[in-house]
Amino acid sequence: MSQREIQGSLFLIGFMGAGKSAVSARFHEFYGMKLLEMDQEIERREKMSISRIFREKGEEYFRRLETELLGELKGSSGIVVSCGGGAAMRDENVRRMKEAGKVVLLRAEPETVLQRIADSEDRPLLQGRKTPQGIRELMEQRQPRYEAAADFAVDTDGKTVDQICREILEKISGPESF
């Protein structure tokens, strides 16, 4: 994929289990973009898991790390960023994303999210919420901000990772360009 098609970097936002990690990994593997998994990068720097950061340092500390990390991407290009599910909740973060590139919202139904995250132990905000209703409640609180932050959105239910990537590329640069 040429840099003419994506100005700057590509930020994938959306709820936990919306497919941000899988889609960004594909952009990295097949389209040669550099990959930044925000959660993994924060875990690497802090030398502890997300759950442990929440438990020992608190959510606010984690949110500050997210904001700092996004700040480092100013002027970047060719990076696909898999954002943590809460990253788009802060206006400052969204401003940083928009300054640095395109913001794409991946949507998924609560039932799809549940299937995708069923085995995950490292999502502190889903503790005690692993039901369609529990997920729907948090998702509905967040959805307006996700929608407002995004340049455009892609529904992911029932689609393969490749289909989702193609849809994103089409929306960015038109069907003829890849």
Task: Summarize as ranges the residues that interact with ligand S3P (CB under 6 A).
Answer: 16, 20, 39, 50, 84-86, 123-125
Considering only CA atoms, which of 75, 72, 77 is closest in space to residue 2? 77
5/91 with CB nearer ligand S3P: 91
The nearest distance, CB 124 to ligand S3P, in angstroms, is: 6
102/123 with CB nearer ligand S3P: 123
Considering only CA atoms, which of 174, 13, 176, 17 is closest in space to residue 83? 13
The nearest distance, CB 34 to ligand S3P, in angstroms, is: 18
Considering only CA atoms, which of 165, 166, 141 is closest in space to residue 15? 141
The nearest distance, CB 44 to ligand S3P, in angstroms, is: 14
| Residues 150 and 103 sit within 8 Å (Cβ to Cβ) | yes
Q: Give the integer Cα–Cα distance in Å for 94 and 154.
A: 18
Distances from the Cα of 36 to the Cα of 11, 94, 178, angstroms: 9, 16, 23
124/134 with CB nearer ligand S3P: 124
39/167 with CB nearer ligand S3P: 39
The nearest distance, CB 159 to ligand S3P, in angstroms, is: 18
